[in-house]
Structure 1
Amino acid sequence: MTTPATLRLEPVTADNIDAVCAIQVRPDQNHLVSPVVKSLAEAYVHGETAWPRAVVDGDEVVGFVMAFLDIAWNPAVDPADRRSGIWRLNIAAGHQGKGYGRFAVQAVTEEIRGRGASQAYVTWHLGEGSPEPFYLGLGFQRTGELSGDEPVGVLRLT
């Protein structure tokens, strides 16, 4: 990572879509996160709640992050339970371990805070190579809930 001043999140546009779609995690992580192209398709389908962004350092796209904003978490149980959080995080294999993931999560949580939410959520796959230690290290705490077979984590933003 160069300097924090060079890091930013940018919307996915016609100018950067090829670089964004080229983002690939390490081969041993492929079972942990969907490819960016699937995320962009989901963002298209869920346009009102998806917030996809390129993670950019200087002029280089180094990752992709997508948030979900103000979704009804489990409307059959509690229609008032609306949540925002990290939906997807892909940092290019050659750029991992440089602080880009931490930056992306912090930038998304600042966006969520700026929209008035007091908590941010994330889910993760368990097993070998799980990102659980990464998210717990950023302050997320398990809620005790599962989304499918993935644990749910929450970060208090206040």
Structure 2
Amino acid sequence: MSANVRVEKIGPGNIDAALALRVLPEQEKNVAPVVKSLAEAYAWGETAWPRLLLDGDEAVGFLMLFVDIAWNPDADPEDRRSGLWRLNIAAGHQGKGYGRYAVEAGCAEVRRRGGDRFFTTWEPGPTGPGEFYRRLGFTPTGETSGGQIVGVRELG
């Protein structure tokens, strides 16, 4: 990973690079493709924060945040959360620090918006990214969402 890593808003100039990103084949069951994420971002509007992760001019990943959504409006509409909705690091760029960079960029954005906790979910099991998220300071909340483990990282 070089010093030229950054997140960039997705637009006409980089959408093809975003759509071309692919994770490792064995990870495809754990994370939706970028095209689905962009469709969800369109449907959710300002709640979604999709970004392309670039190293210089090369697309190396994609991240999308959910911002200030009611976690369970049937139970407690005041329980509003922000966090990582999607993280796709390109197959040839994994293990180089890009995932960590993306999570830190997401945490910084939530902090900038006044948040003090950062949530994510992950597929359980040996091929899921649980250990990656635990190493970054996430702890399971005891909740699940769509069969995935819910984790939180305090930003304080």
TM score, norm. by length of structure 1: 0.97
**What aligned pairs does 1:112-123 form with structure 2 within 5 A after superposition?**
112-123=110-121
User: Hey, what does 1:30 align to over in structure 2?
Assistant: 28
Q: Which residue of 1 aligns with 2:145?
A: 147
Amino acid at match of 2:81: R
* 1:41 correspondence with 2:42: no
Q: Deviations over 1:68-92 (max 9, x none)?
A: 0000000010010000000000000
> Where has structure 1 moved over 3 Å in runs of 4 or more?
none
Indicate whether 1:77 and 2:49 are aligned: no
Amino acid at match of 1:106: E
| Matched AA of 1:42 | E
For 2:68, what is the secondary structure of its paired residue?
strand
Seq. identity, %: 59
What residue number does 1:8 align with? 6
- CA distance in structure 2 between the partners assigned to 1:2 and 1:150 by the alignment: 32
Whole-angstrom distance in 1 between the partners of 2:33 and 2:135: 24
Q: Which amino acid aligns with 1:122?
A: T
Q: CA RMSD in A?
A: 0.6
Instruction: Please give the alpha-carbon distance, in whole angstroms, between the structure 2 residues aligned to 1:144 and 1:128.
Output: 19
> Could you say what secondary structure the match of 2:74 adopts?
coil
1:73 and 1:55 map into 2 onto residues whose CA distance is 27
- Amino acid of the residue matched to residue 58 of structure 2? E
Output the CA distance in 1 between the equivalents of 2:33 and 2:20. 9
2:136 paired with 1:138 = yes
Q: How many Å apart are 1:126 and its aligned residue?
A: 1.3
- Cα distance in 2 for residues equivalent to 1:53 and 1:148: 24
* Offset at residue 130 of structure 1 (A): 0.6
The one-letter amino acid of 1:44's match is Y
Whole-Å Cα distance in 1 between the matches of residues 149 and 26 of structure 2?
A: 20
**2:125 aligned with 1:100, yes or no?**
no
CA-to-partner distance for each residue in 1:8-52, whole Å, 9 max, x for gaps?
A: 100001000000000000001000000000000000000120000
Asked if residue 20 in structure 1 is aligned to residue 33 in structure 2, the reply is no
- The answer for unaligned runs of 5 or more in structure 1 is none
Count of residues in correspondence between the two structures: 156
Q: 1:13, 1:128 → 2: CA distance? A: 35
Stretches of structure 2 that go unaligned for 5 or more consecutive residues are: none
Task: Give 1:128 shift.
Answer: 3.2
